[in-house]
Structure formats: structure tokens, C-alpha cells
Chain A
Amino acid sequence: MTSKTSLPTRKNEFRQTFRWALRKNAGMTGLLAALLFVCLPMILLLALSSGERYAGPERTETVWRNGIATQYAGFLHAMIPVAAVSLLLLFSVVLCVRLFGYMQNRRSEDLFHALPVGRVPMLLGRWCAGMVALALPALGNFGVLALIALAYRIPLFAGGMYLGTALCWLLLMAAAAFTFLTFLSVCSGSVMDTILSALGVNVGFPAAVFLSQSLVRYTLPGAYNADRFNFAVLSLLAPFPAAYLPHVGEEPVWFLPWWICATAALLAGACLLYRRRRSESAEDRFAFAAPKIVIRFLLTACGGLGLGLAGMFMTGNIAMFLLLAAAGSLVAHTVVEAVYSRGFRGMKRSLRWYAIFAVCFAAFYGVLATGCFGFDTRVPDPSEVESISIDAAGFSSSGGSQVYRADHDTGLISGPPIPLEPVLKKPESIRAVLQFHRELVAKYRAEKYPYVPQQGYWGVFTLRYRLKNGSTLTRSFLDSSGFSEWMQEKEKPLLEMEEYRENNDMVFFLQPDDLLSVTVYSNNGNKGSEYLLGDGALRGELLDALRSEYDADRSSDGGLSLKVREPFRPDDRLREALGGYSGEVAVGEPSYSYRADGEVARVLKEIAEKEKVYGFVENTGPAG
């Protein structure tokens, strides 16, 4: 049935709906603005003014200004995710209920759907009013934050840039969350179901993906990803948790276009479905059943995988895994169905959906147990390989340095260390690694096939092949198989290769100019002496000495730690060893031990004679 109403009329209907909805929600807009003001500009002003008061007369203008700038930047990084994101998400729920709650009440539908206003202009007018009600308070308060920065003459890099990008992310993710709720409102028959569905997707999707990934990681040999879980993927369909990611530096490149497209698609979908929505579905369970089916599937998967994996890890028994997976999924299905149906009336009919889940789960597990179509046995041909990087965390003694993501504006270090993975390019190194990989695959096939979930220990051995066709192939093995001794014996020659050893620690990547000071500890003392490294030649000698004695048979007569310059951008070689990470990095005081009769000890003696003692520090324990 096509609309017989002209576009100008529709535009007028949209305008009237928008104005009215905006006016009716002016109070909510004001409340959000006030709450944001209290949480952001007001607390910031109080913090800055108290910092100013306690600055003391002895502090110089520059030191004071740097302190204020750091305080400002730190405040924004902490409070924008905590206060601004949380408040906007909360108000997106409140505004959605206020603006679209009429769809879920038969009496209110009698009024709204009888009005001479098309459904699409009505939905869009209300959606736009909701967006303005969310965006205006955020814009106003971020404007005040910018004015505060101007008033305190805080440089742009110390928060100004972040303020702009944070505002853009905030508005985009608020739009995504609000549109997501709008979509669910159109699909649901009651406010309760809208809220339950929103909760189901935002909790169920990340949990289901996390648990599925866990099953893959612990079952399929070579699929254990040594990296952290990808939070962006976990929140791919969950705008509420996703809203926090850009503020904690977890957004990949595709994150921005994905959420722009997802928001647009959700809005278009909401318009399309609203035109087809039956008014009589108000106060019913669902106008469109698809979200319920998806959410029930996700939560059933969570119940099954969660309980199954927990049972597996506790007992190590595959029968227990399957039994608990079946029990957990059935209980989750029953609970979700009972909650959605407000009882058990539709339970019997819903079991066909449980059967579909059971088939999907069996197929998924079957694919993993049989090696995922050759995933487990894929070893590239030597002619295909350009280079290989190895991450042997947990299997070999790591170097004495760790590299972190760093923010140049604030100097803040975020996240866990970035693993330093030595890159092997020599043909003999490549051949040796491929031989090891083939033997490992053969051992898995012979002893563990068909695969079952394995309990995890700490060791992870990751091989990243960069192939000549430009692609990469990663195989990551978890020390869960009882192969530890065999693996360590086989890995030893690999880890002792010169090419591996010389790329395994930051000491091989640092330049003499990178060193600022060295702190020397006695073998049994707690105090260390810090020497400023002013002499470039001595810095070079110290690095050479550390490299020559690196990973040697150390008797550990003493220890040292290096202080390295401010966050810097890695060069090509280091970037490759960091797995392609191109942002700024900070090296957290690398520590090494040395022999009393070695070259390092000689250079340290020379430093002690020539360089100025900067101070004494508590021994935090040099790495062996």
C-alpha cells in the first residue's frame, strides 16, 4: 500500500512532530545538561582551582601551567567515559521510552496513529528530537570545557584535540545507542520487552562472542590468539559497551565507518518496519519476532557455552562439557522464553528454536573438533614465506624490557605491554621454524584428533607468517596439551638462533641518544645509584656491552635499569617487531643483570667515575 501523501506534506508533518517532541522533552534536555555540567565543567573547575591554590609560590609559571594542562587532560580522559558516556546512554533509554513508548500502548496508538501524520515523519521527527535532546547538552558542556581550556591557556595538544574527538565519538555512539533502542521499540510490543531486548543484545552478544572465541581458542590447535580479546568485535552489535571503547583507545580503523553505517541501517530499518508495523501489536509480546529469536539464540549460546566451558575447565572431562553445555543452554532458553512470554504458555512451541540452536552448536563444535576444514594442518610452503615473527611468551625467558602504548599529549601509558616479536627473515631461520611447525601439527593430529577443549596454562607460542602475496598467516598454540616438555625441547634451537636473539629485547632497538640515565644496583643491596648519561660515547658503549652479554650465562653480580627518553614513534624495524603498531610507544625502564667481570660492569665503572650521580632510588628489583 503506497502512500498517497506528497513530500512537502510529509516534510511539514516531520517539522510539526519534531517541534512538538522537542518541546515536550525540553525538561529532560535541561536535566541532562545540568547533570553533565555538574559532572564535567563544575568538578573540573573545582579541581583546577584547588590545584591553583596549592601550587605554592616556589613553583614557576611553566611548571604550574604544565601541571594544570596534565590535570585537565587527565580529568577529560577519566570523566568523559565515566560521566558523559554513561549519562548519554542512560538518557538515550529515558528519551526512547518517552518518545516511542506510545507504540507500546493501545490507547496512545489510538491517538497517534489516527493523526494525519505519516508513520515515517512521525518516527523521524521524534528520533531527531531525541537526538537534539542528547546532543545539545553535550555540545554545550563540551563548549564550556573548551572555554575552561582557553581561560587557563591550556595548549591544544593537552586535551583540546581529545575534547574534539571525544565529542564526535560521544555523539556518534549516543546516536547509535538511541537508534538501536528506536529499532527495538518498533519491533517490541511493550516497554518492558524493549528494555529486556536492549539488555539481551548488549550483554548477550559480547558474552556469546567471547565464549565462542574461547571455545575456538581452547579446542582448535593453532587458533589460540595470543593477543588480547578484540573488544571492538565483542561489541560489534552492542552499542552500549561499544560507546566506551573509543574513550579507552580500543577502536580499530573500521569502528567509525561501521557504527556510522550501522546507525544509518538501524534508522532505515526502523522506518521500514514502522510502516509495516501492526498497531494491534502494542501491548502484545512482539511486533516483529526476529529480535526475540536472535536474543534468545544469543543467550541460549551464552548459557550453553558458559556452563560447558566452566565444567570442562573444572573437570577436564569432555562428557561433562557436552552435558553441561546441553543443560546450560536448555536452562537459558527456558528462562529467556519464560521472561519474554511472561510464563510457560509458548514453551513447547519454542523448543523448535532450541532444536535449531542445538544443531548449530553441534555443527560448530564438529567443525572445530575436526580441524576447521584444514586450519589445523595448514603450514605454508617455504617459497611462500617472506618473514616469520615469533612470540614465545611463557615458553622462553623474556627480555628485560617492555613496550607500552603511549599518548604523546598526556604522557599517559595505556593497556598491557605490546609483545616484542622477533622477525625472522633468513632462509635457514624460516626453514627451521617451518620444520618445527610441521612436527607440531603432526603431533597434534596423531595424539589429539578429534580435538576437545583443553584446559589452558600460561604458555602461548605464536607464529606469524608474512607471506609473499602480502597476506599473513597466524598460528598460536596454547600450552594446554601436555606437550610442554616436547615443545620446549623443540623450541630451544629456534629461540637460540642469532636472528631471534638479536630481536628479542629493546636493548637491540635502542639508540645511544635514547638513554637518559642508568641506575645501578648492588647484588644484595636495596638502594641504587642513578647516573645521568651525558656522554654519548659512554651511552653507546653501555648499549654494546648489554647486547654482547644479553641472554648469556649470567651469574648476576648486580643489576641495572635504564631510563629511556619520552614516548617516541618507533622506526620501521621496531614497528615490524611490534606487530605493525605505529603509534607512539614508551619503554618502561628496561632492567638487566650483569657479571662482575664482564663488559657491562667495566662500562658501569667508567660511568660511575665520569658521570654525575643524579640520586638514589629504592631497588625495585632488576629483571634477570
Chain B
Amino acid sequence: MIEARGLVKKFGEKTALDNMSFRIGGKSVFGLVGSNGAGKSTFLRTAAGIYRPDAGKLLIDGSEPFENSGVKGRVFFIPDYPYFLPQSNLAEMGSFLAAVYPRWDWKRFDALNRVFPLGEKTRISTMSKGMQRQAALICAFSARPDYILMDEIFDGLDPVMRQLLKRLVSEEVASRGVTVVIASHNLRELEDLCDHVGLFHKGGVVFEKDLDELRLGVCKVQAVFRPMPERSAFAPLNIVKWETRGSLVNFVARAGRDEVLAKLNTMNPVFAEALPLTLEEVFISEMEVAGYDIENILADAEK
């Protein structure tokens, strides 16, 4: 389990992680989503033991990863721009990592090299962005870690490779009980893969929920009323986003579909429909609540 307790990380004047507290349960795929600069990469680097927290704690199975080889040996971090040793190929990277990762598995390495046909002797610096990500994945899975931290891993991967990645991750979770944390803006892919999601904004956690629970707990509604009731009549529905156009009303409510429809029917709509939200829609509506939406951004820019 990864646990943040009052975690603070500052870069000069800027606070990247602001008193953050939450947990990532074990044996799951956890998606980190959030606005740009929300602190997702900083969180992953702190969890990988690269950054030292300025205050609070980040614990992996009860131990801090910074300067702790025991913990770091069970964690593998793939950054947004993976780095490889200069002039190295996959075989050399394998040798380098095998010397320090205690559970390095050469059989797994060979098997993955067959799955991702990159060529063990090909210089990594000559590979494309997507191929370099595949090389990083080969290294990560071969190290047999308990925790794999991935930052923008879908960038540069073609649709087939994304599917392959998702399958490999699912297998690792199912067979070895690995915990995978993925920070990404590609919400469509995360939706397929993650079972938990955490939404970061301005160095804090807006929410951290089970994905199914999140989807079932929020819905978007389209309804026609003649005449249109007062807005206060909808207050019990815990509305996040609201829009009306004549007799048509669109809104997002933090409540289950059946609960919303039951309440709407008491208001005699001409037509009413409640649909589950995609992760992207949840993200946009929650960020609007946090004041992060296009209208606000443009308004701030005009100021």
C-alpha cells in the first residue's frame, strides 16, 4: 500500500504537493488524473524515492522510499521521458538493472523481448518515442517489482501496443498482485485499465475513488420540462454542472441514476434520461467545481 500523510513538496516558492493525504491500495491499478501542474509526476517521483518530501510522509508498505534500497528494489518508475544509459542497447540496460534489482528475471526479459520486437542489440537512442517506452516497459516488468509507477505511459504507443500494455499490466496484477500507478491525461485508456482513480488539482487530492463507484455515483441528465421549474427545485439532486436551453435542461448530479430519475419523475418532466459519465466527463465536471474550466481560464486571462 502507498500512503501519503500530510505530504508536502515544494520547488522554491511553488508548492507542488500541498499537505496531501490519501492511500493507494495494493494489488490494483490506480489512475492519477488531474490538471497540468497538479503534482502527479511529483507524487510519482516522491514515491520512487527520487524526491525527498519537505514535510509529511510518503510510505510504501510502511517505509519511506527515499534512500531506502529495500523499498526501491520493489518499485520501478517509468518517467514521462524514460532515460537510458548513453549509447546503450536493451541488453546493456538489462545487465545494468539486473545488477541492482534483486528480483530481476532474465527469462521474463527474454520473453518480453519476443513480445516487443525491438532488438536487444539496437541502440535505444535511435528508437522512436513509442519504442523507447516499450523498452522501458520491458525493463520494468523484468525487474519483477511489487509497485510499478508510470508517468504518461500511453504517449507514443500505437493502439495495438496500448492494448498489449493493458493486457500485460492486468496479467501482472492478477498473477503477482502488483500495484500499478499510472499518471495520464489519456482518460479513455485509464478508464479501461484502472480500478481506482485519484483526481489531483493544485497539489491536493480532489477525490480518490473506486472507478465503478465513481461512475455509478455520478450521472448526466437530459430532461424537458413545460413549464421549467425553479432551479431550487433541483437542489436535492446535488448538481455539479447545470445548463438550460429553453425547456431543455442538462445537468450532472452526484447521485445514482435510479435515484435521480425517481426524483425527476416527481417533477413531471415531458422527457427525462440519465446516463453514466465517462471518466473524461467526470474529470471535466469535477474540475469545473474546483474552478478549473474553460470559462474561468478565459476570464482569468482577460483580467
Is the Cβ of A19 less than 8 Å from the Cβ of B75? no
Chain A nearest CB, measured from B295 CB (Å)? 34
Interface string of A98-123 (1 = CB under 8 A from B): 00000001011111011111110000
- Contact (Cβ within 8 A) A116 B102: yes
Distance A113 CA – B48 CA, assembled complex (angstroms): 8
A114 contacts B100, CB within 8 Å? no
Given known A16-B100, A119-B67, contact A279–B51 (CB-CB < 8 A): yes
Inter-subunit contact A116/B45 (CB<8 Å): no
Given contacts A1-B66, A110-B79, A114-B75, contact A20 B96 (CB under 8 A): yes
Q: Is A3 an interface residue (CB 8 A)?
A: yes
Q: How far is the CA of A13 from the CA of B70 in the complex (A)?
A: 11
* Distance to closest chain A CB from B261 (angstroms): 49
Measured between beta carbons, the chain B residues less than 8 angstroms from A109 are 50
Chain B residues lying within 8 Å of A108, measured Cβ to Cβ, are 83
- The answer to whether A5 has its CB under 8 Å from any CB of chain B is yes
- B296 proximal to A (CB < 8 A): no
Indicate if the CB atoms of A1 and B69 lie closer than 8 Å.
no
Q: Is A439 an interface residue (CB 8 A)?
A: no
Partner of B69, one of A116, A279, A280: A116
Measured in the bound complex, the distance between the Cα atoms of B68 and A119 in whole Å is: 10
Binding site secondary structure of chain B: loop
Binary CB contact string for chain B from 96 to 121 against chain A (1 if under 8 A, 0 otherwise): 11011110000000000000000000
Chain A residues whose C-beta falls within 8 Å of the C-beta of B101 in the assembled complex = 116
Could you say which residues of chain B place their CB within 8 Å of the CB of A468?
Answer: none
Give the Cβ gap from A476 to chain B, nearest Cβ, in Å: 52
Q: Tell me whether A4 and B70 are in contact (CB under 8 A).
A: yes
Does B73 interact with chain A (Cβ within 8 Å)?
yes
List A residues 227-261 near B (Cβ within 8 Å): none
A275 — which chain B residues lie within 8 A by C-beta?
Answer: 67
Q: Is B77 interfacial (CB 8 A cutoff)?
A: yes
Chain B residue nearest in CB terms to A278: B52
Judging by beta carbons under 8 Å apart, are A4 and B49 in contact? no
**CA–CA, A185 to B44, complex, Å?**
26
Provide the bound-state CA to CA distance between A5 and B69, in Å: 6
- Contact partners of A105 in chain B: CB under 8 A: 83
Q: Indicate if A9 sits at the interface (CB-CB under 8 A).
A: yes
- With A107-B81, A107-B83, A110-B79 known as contacts, the answer to whether A280 contacts B11 (CB < 8 A) is yes
Q: How far is the CB of A297 from chain B (nearest CB, A)?
A: 24
By a CB distance below 8 angstroms, the chain A residues around B72 are 114-117
* Contact B102–A114 (Cβ < 8 Å): no
Q: Is B63 an interface residue (CB 8 A)?
A: yes
Question: Does any Cβ of A come within 8 Å of B18's Cβ?
Answer: no
Q: Which A-chain residue is minimally distant from B51 (CB atoms)? A: A279
B146 adjacent to chain A (CB < 8 Å): no
Query: B63: which of A4, A113, A116 is its contact (CB, 8 Å)?
Result: A4
Closest chain-B Cβ to A604's Cβ sits at a distance in Å of 78
Question: Which residues 74-95 of B sit at the A interface, judged by CB distance below 8 A?
Answer: 75-77, 79, 81-85
- Report the bound CA distance from A280 to B26 in whole Å: 28
Q: Once bound together, how far apart are the Cα atoms of A1 and B186, in whole Å?
A: 36
| A1 B50 Cβ-Cβ under 8 A | no
A110 closest partner in B (C-beta): B79
Chain B residue with the shortest CB-CB distance to A109: B50
Nearest A-chain residue to B145, judged by Cβ: A116
Asked whether B99 lies within 8 Å of A4 as measured between CB atoms, the reply is no
Interface centre among B50, B64, B76 (most CB of A within 10 A): B50
* Contact yes or no, B63 A280, CB < 8 A: no
Query: Cβ of B50 and Cβ of A116 under 8 Å apart?
Result: no
When distances are taken between beta carbons in the complex, the residues of chain A under 8 Å from B69 are: 5, 9-10, 13, 116-118
By a CB distance below 8 angstroms, the chain A residues around B66 are: 1
Measured CB to CB, the closest approach of chain B to A591, in angstroms, equals 66
8 Å CB contact of A280 from B49, B51, B100? B51
A19 near B99 with CB under 8 A, answer yes
B79 and A4 contacting across the interface, CB-CB below 8 Å: no
Most A C-beta atoms less than 10 A away, residue of B52, B73, B76, B101: B52
Closest to A10 in B: B69
Determine the chain B residues whose CB is within 8 A of the CB of A119 once the complex forms: 67
Bound CA–CA A279/B100 (angstroms): 20
Q: Please, which residue of chain B has its CB at the minimum distance from the CB of A280?
A: B11
A114 touches B52 (CB 8 A): no
CA distance A111 to B80 in the complex (A): 12
Chain B hits for A278, CB < 8 A: 51-52
- Interface contact A110-B100, CB-CB below 8 Å: no
Given contacts A5-B68, A5-B70, contact A16 B99 (CB under 8 A): yes
* A123 shortest CB reach to chain B, Å: 12
Q: A280 — which chain B residues lie within 8 A by C-beta? A: 11, 51
A116 touches B79 (CB 8 A): no
Q: How far apart sit A278 and B96, CA to CA, in the bound complex (Å)?
A: 24
Q: Chain A contacts of B100 at CB under 8 A?
A: 13, 16, 115-117
User: In the complex, what residue of chain B is closest to A279 when comparing beta carbons?
Assistant: B50
Closest-by-CB residue of B relative to A23 is B95
How far is the CB of A120 from the nearest CB of chain B, in Å?
Answer: 9
CA distance A110 to B84 in the complex (A): 10
> How far, in angstroms, from A571 to B209 measured CA to CA in the complex?
92
Would you call A107 and B102 a contact (CB within 8 A)?
no
Closest to B73 in A: A116
Most buried by B among A3, A24, A115: A115
Given contacts A5-B68, A16-B100, A116-B100, contact A107 B79 (CB under 8 A): yes
Chain B residues within CB distance 8 Å of chain A: 11, 45, 48-52, 63-64, 66-73, 75-77, 79, 81-85, 96-97, 99-102
Given A19-B99, A115-B100, 5 other A-B residues pairs in contact with their CB atoms under 8 A = A24-B85, A107-B83, A111-B82, A116-B71, A279-B50
Binding site for B on A (CB under 8 A): 1, 3-5, 9-10, 13, 16, 19-20, 24, 105, 107-111, 113-119, 275, 278-280
18 example contacts (A-B, Cβ-Cβ < 8 A) are as follows A3-B67, A4-B64, A5-B68, A13-B100, A16-B100, A20-B96, A20-B99, A24-B85, A107-B79, A107-B83, A110-B83, A111-B84, A113-B48, A115-B72, A115-B97, A117-B72, A278-B51, A278-B52
Q: Which 8 A-B pairs have the closest CB atoms?
A: A116-B73, A116-B72, A107-B83, A110-B79, A116-B69, A113-B50, A111-B83, A114-B48
